[in-house]
Structure 1
Amino acid sequence: MRNTIYLFVLILSVCFKTNGQEIVSGYLHLENSENWEQKVNLSKVQLNGKANGHTYIPIASSVLSKEGYFSFDQKWFDNKDHIYRIHVNPIKSISRRTGLAKNSKLFILSKNDSIYFKKGTSPFDSYTTNNKAHKEWEQLKKFESKFESLHDDFDTEKYLLRTKGYVKDSLQILLVKLISIKKLDDKKLLEKDIKENTAYYTSLLKELKSSEIDPALFLYLENKLSLVYLENTDEKYSISVVLNGIAGLVITFLVLLIFRRRRNRNNNDLVPLSKQENTIKELIISGKSNKEIANELFISINTVKTHISNIYSKLHITSRKELLLKK
């Protein structure tokens, strides 16, 4: 009797342990089940920079029971929140036909939480989870759904303003903020917003890097920031080149203007030569030496030299050669 009790307790403990490890579980209802593979696939999701872009990394598969039950235990999950996807594949021969039910579900989970899919009329439609990040993500989806019906009259400025306000005031979990930013990227609005709010995104990236979030999830944001930074740098460099060119032209113009004004001032400041100085100037230009000039004018050589010194001073020159050039 005692051995039977021990065996029963052991079986119960194993069952509870097994159930405790199954953190993703539930039932899958498939219309026309013969068109679908009879297993559920689990993948890890990474965000990328392409529109609506995700990269799926296969992790495990769970074969469906006769009742449609499937499960994944905690060994496939991390201690920190991450985005996962479960899906069931249609049989290849009909995989491109239209009218197949939605066959996948994205969710956030860590190994410390659980998600349970209830029986429903479509795959993965009804579920319960205790993961806080996923619950906040569902609230974000409800907010974003308000804009899904907008087409030609879609107001990007209003959408950006309301989205940023919602992210700032309502979202508390970094991973969900990151998902909301990916939505902006999908709508080709992220680059515009980064250019207008670079400081905010730089601060957010710094916060993401210091968190426990897998860096692969925000790599696209880091790349986008780097791209915008390079574009801004190139733009600033181009502007700098243009401004430097303009400054160079202005400086050149000012130097020429100053030189011209100085030359004109020098010309205007010339003191008129006396009659005797003009005579000596003409004799110098004709090639006469000091002695010849003295003999021709009946004055001493020293007097000639004095006159020549005065001529040079008044004309702002220093030699016969300059006088000949200036004639």
Structure 2
Amino acid sequence: MAQYEFSGYVDKKNWSGDIYLSLIEDYRKLSGVYPEQIIQKTVSDSMGYFSFSGDNLPLQNHMYRIHIEGCSENEKKPIHFNGFCPYSKEILFIANNTDTLTLPFSFDNEMFCKIVSNNEKSNAFIKVDSIIDEMRFAFASYRSEANRKINEKKWFTTLQRFVKNQNEPLTELYVYAFLSDKSNNLYAHYLEDLKQNTYYDNLLERLQKKYPNSTYTKQYETELASDKFIISPKEVSYKNWWLWIVLACAIALNIFQFLYYRKKINASHNSSEKNLTQQEQKVLDLILDDKTNKEIASTMFVSISTIKTHINNLYKKLEVSSRDEVKSLYIKK
């Protein structure tokens, strides 16, 4: 029988709540708290150690999330209503039911920052996130329109080449979910890229070959058809009436997701700000003062890498992806 074990440590001083293992079948719900995804729950011991084990996971690689949240029982229902929880910490990874995976403490006792596994694919999402972080800092360094256009093409190519070389379609799907997110500033460039880049059709072929009957493949196939219809509606045959029905449903879903996201952002910023640590609040104040990472590190007497970690956590809690977006929140206020 195939056995799996996922274990790790949490910061017992700051996190004492339940720890959840979730199976992600909808790649548009990678981050958040969704009860329908949770397959196991546990608590850590006095040293912060926790473990998930069993033999009930799918045989093939799937996307998983381990997260801990610090909400009280009275807070959970209203706060988790839209899947977003400002009082949570999580890590995403790829695994199957023959894997052993550990989550040790990383630098500065940061938890959920490193994965040690016998599955070489498990660390793929963390590697992708590091590239995305580099991209965000590159965009923030020079805010001109010319720089934005140059960087968009560069980072699209960099991300797609990297994940394709990983030989794991689920990692490619993780990047696709990021690039094609309608709330992302790169969405317009994604639609332009879709017109001329055969990468997206090739990804569908790889998914169909490796995961022929999975929800990931079916979801991607529907979304890709919908986006192609958006950019080139005349190329869709009127005879394929069934495809029109699928496209109409997909477009309606896309509109709903966009409106849902906007509502989620407006409702979550206030609660997110309250969850900032003292160090993250200092970083936020210095960002609003137009300080560079080097200047912030000098002011706070820490390394630039530590500042990058604080900024990444700050972006996640405020649900933004750049300094400009951070500033826009406070300009509106």
Q: Which residue of structure 1 lines up, in the alignment, with residue 47 of structure 2?
A: 67
Q: CA RMSD in A?
A: 3.6
How big is the shift at 1:44? 1.0
Q: Does 1:118 find its partner at 2:104? A: yes
> Which residues of 2 match residues 6-85 of structure 1 at below 5 A?
21=3, 23-33=5-15, 36-37=16-17, 39-48=18-27, 57-85=37-65
CA offset at residue 156 of structure 1?
Answer: 4.2
Query: What is the number of equivalent residue pairs in this alignment?
Result: 214
The alignment status of 1:148 with 2:136, answered yes or no, reads yes
**Equivalent-residue separation in structure 1 for 2:104 and 2:150 (angstroms):** 40
Equivalent residue, structure 2, for 1:248: none
| Aligned match of 1:172 | 167
Amino acid in the other structure paired with 1:103: K
* More off after superposition, 141-150 vs 165-174: 165-174
Residues 121-154 of structure 1 show CA distances to partners (whole Å, capped at 9, x for unaligned) of 3432344223211233333222222111224446
Matched, 1:86 2:58: no
Q: TM-score if structure 2 supplies the norm length? A: 0.54
Instruction: Give the secondary structure class of the aligned counterpart of 2:234.
Output: helix
Whether the aligned pair in 2 keeps the contact of 1:47 and 1:218 (CA below 8 Å) is no
Question: Does structure 2 retain, via aligned residues, the 8 Å contact 1:62–1:71?
Answer: yes
Q: Are 1:159 and 2:152 counterparts? A: yes
Deviations 1:265-290 (A, max 9, x none): xxxxxxxxxxxxxxxxxxxxxxxxxx
Is the Cα contact below 8 Å between 1:83 and 1:106 reproduced in 2?
yes
Give the letter aligned to residue 192 of structure 2. K
Q: Could you say which residue in structure 2 is the equivalent of 1:108?
A: 94
User: Which amino acid in structure 2 is aligned with residue 196 of structure 1?
Assistant: Q
The code of the aligned residue for 2:221 comes to E
Match of 1:134 among 110, 122, 132: 122
Judging changes above 3 Å, is the alpha-carbon distance between structure 1 residues 207 and 125 closer, same or farther for their aligned structure 2 residues? closer
The residue type paired with residue 157 of structure 2 is K
Tell me how far 1:67 sits from its aligned partner.
Answer: 2.7
Cα drift, residue 58 of structure 1: 0.9
Q: Which runs of 5+ in 2 are unaligned?
A: 80-85, 237-333
Are 2:191 and 2:227, in contact at CA under 8 Å, matched by a contact in 1? yes
Q: Which residue is 1:268 aligned to?
A: none
Partner of 1:215: 214
1:44 partner amino acid: L
CA contact (8 A) 2:115 2:122 kept: no
Are the aligned partners of 1:60 and 1:76 in contact in 2 as well (CA < 8 Å)?
A: no
Q: What is the rounded CA distance, in whole Å, between the counterparts of 2:25 and 2:150 in structure 1?
A: 28
**Could you tell me which amino acid in structure 2 is paired with residue 114 of structure 1?**
T
State the identity as a percent: 20
Question: What is the rounded CA distance, in whole Å, between the counterparts of 2:30 and 2:56 in structure 1?
Answer: 28
Q: Distance in 2 between matches of 1:231 and 1:23?
A: 44
Deviations along 1:88-138, one digit per CA (max 9) or x if unpaired, are: 121326777xxx875211111112222112246343234422321123333
TM-score for the superposition, normalised by structure 1: 0.55
Q: Letter of the aligned partner of 1:171 in structure 2?
A: Q
d(CA) in 1 for partners of 2:43 and 2:30? 32
Give the superposition deviation at 1:43. 0.6
CA pair 232-142 structure 1, distance change in 2 beyond 3 A: closer
Counterpart CA distance in 2 for 1:73 and 1:27 is 15
Deviation at 1:209, TM superposition (A): 1.2
Rounded to whole Å, the distance in 1 between the matches of 2:30 and 2:63 is: 17
8 Å contact from structure 1 (residues 43, 60) kept in 2: yes
Larger Rg: 1
Secondary structure, in 3 states, of the residue corresponding to 1:26? strand
Q: Which residue of 1 aligns with 2:195?
A: 195
Would you say the 8 A contact 2:70–2:87 is kept in 1? no
> Residues 2-40 of structure 1: CA distance to partner in whole angstroms, max 9, x if unpaired?
xxxxxxxxxxxxxxx9xx94520122223245xx42x31
Q: Deviations over 1:32-69 (max 9, x none)?
A: 45xx42x3111112344589789661101123223322
Instruction: Return the alpha-carbon distance in structure 1 between the equivalents of residues 59 and 128 of structure 2.
Output: 23
Distance in 1 (CA, whole Å) between partners of 2:48 and 2:194 is 46
Distance 1:23 1:52 in 2: 22
Aligned partner (choices 161, 182, 196) of residue 177 of structure 2 = 182
Q: Is the Cα–Cα contact under 8 Å of residues 191 and 224 in structure 1 kept in the other structure?
A: no
Aligned 8 A contact 1:79 1:111 in 2 = yes
**CA–CA separation in structure 2 for the residues paired with 1:178 and 1:64:** 32
Name the SS for the 1:144 alignment partner.
helix
